[in-house]
Chain A
Amino acid sequence: MRRTLVAFLAGLIFGAGLLVSRMADPAKVLNFLDFTAHWDPSLAFVMAGGVVMASLAFAVARRRSHPWFGTQFPTLPYGGITARLVIGAGLFGIGWGLVGLCPGPALVALAIHPLRVAPFVIAMIAGLWIVRLLSARRVQSAAAARSASLVQNSR
């Protein structure tokens, strides 16, 4: 219950931060990405503020054995620098550059202009779902193939 409450509070501050920073406005994101005519460097200040604060928190966390509400900090799975990472980040960059929305701002913007933002968010969720579904299937079939070969080897 307390973990849920902390997550809710974090989400509320996160959403408010996206609004205060003006990063929820796709026009500002696109103008940050455009050096030529309308350059608006505001987004660099959002990133700087975010990274400074989060770095402090991660530094404090390194001195602790467990989170305030939880038994331990998870070891984050390290996937390595793979083609999947680079291609995925590239595809994300194309979508981001086309309309100026990434997942966080899309959610806050959805709450403000539901009808306008819904097509983007629905398509985004569909994209997330398709990839995760296919990855889960691939992991399952790889596991099935492994256990099948184990059965064969044991014969």
Chain B
Amino acid sequence: MLLPPPLPTAFTPLLSLAGGLMIGAAAGLLWLGIGRIAGISGIVGGVVERVERDWRLAFISGVLLAGILARGLGLAPAIHLQGSLPLLVGAGLLVGVGTALGGGCTSGHGICGLSRLSPRSMVATACFMIIAFAVVFLTRSIGSF
């Protein structure tokens, strides 16, 4: 399972801030509009469990349509997903199992939880950030040998 070399990326403070404001506005719209948390792992998990599927499927359709439209209009930014098939499948499983156990991901715990000042979400966000920093440090140090 060889890890790919790092790809340099350009610093995009304004675009990233603007996009972040849109993500926060969408999460705010979902809570103010229908009283639901915009946590993607929870939304996908709820569809799988067949709980309140209508709004969940509508939200996921919106996310997918954003990607399809961007691609169709030629506005889609570059997506550099590197790694072998076993690595992608393993990472996907870890993300699925981890977010189901931990009850949230970067959106549910990270954006919504921190905004609600939830202590549980603060702990979860600190955990996944620290572990992810450590994993990248380890994989990239091994890769540079």
From the candidates B10, B25, B66, B77, name the one contacting A57 in the complex (CB within 8 A). Answer: B25
Give the secondary structure class of B's interface.
Answer: helix
Inter-subunit contact B20/A85 (CB<8 Å): no
B94 to chain A, nearest CB (A): 3
Pick from B13, B67, B70, B89 the residue with the most CB of A within 10 Å.
B67
**Chain B 9-33 near chain A by CB (<8 Å), digits 1 or 0:** 1111101111111111111111111
Q: Say how far A122's CB is from chain B's closest CB, in angstroms.
A: 7
- C-alpha spacing A79/B119, complex, angstroms: 11
User: Contact: B136 with A34, CB < 8 Å?
Assistant: yes
Chain B hits for A116, CB < 8 A: 79, 81
Contact of A119 among B6, B48, B56, B85 (CB under 8 A): B85
Query: Looking at the complex, which one of B87, B116, B127 makes contact with A86 (CB distance below 8 Å)?
Result: B127
| A6→B33 contact, CB < 8 A | yes
Are the CB atoms of B111 and A51 closer together than 8 Å?
Answer: yes
B63 touches A68 (CB 8 A): no
Tell me whether B41 and A26 are in contact (CB under 8 A): no
A139 within 8 A of B: no
Q: List B residues at the A interface (Cβ < 8 Å).
A: 3, 6-13, 15-38, 40-41, 44-45, 48-49, 54-56, 58-68, 70-71, 75-83, 85, 87-103, 105-107, 109-112, 114-116, 118-120, 123-125, 127-137, 139-140
Interface residues of A (CB under 8 A from B): 3-28, 30-31, 33-38, 40-43, 45-58, 60-61, 64, 66-70, 72-74, 76, 78-81, 84-104, 106-113, 116-117, 119-132, 135-136
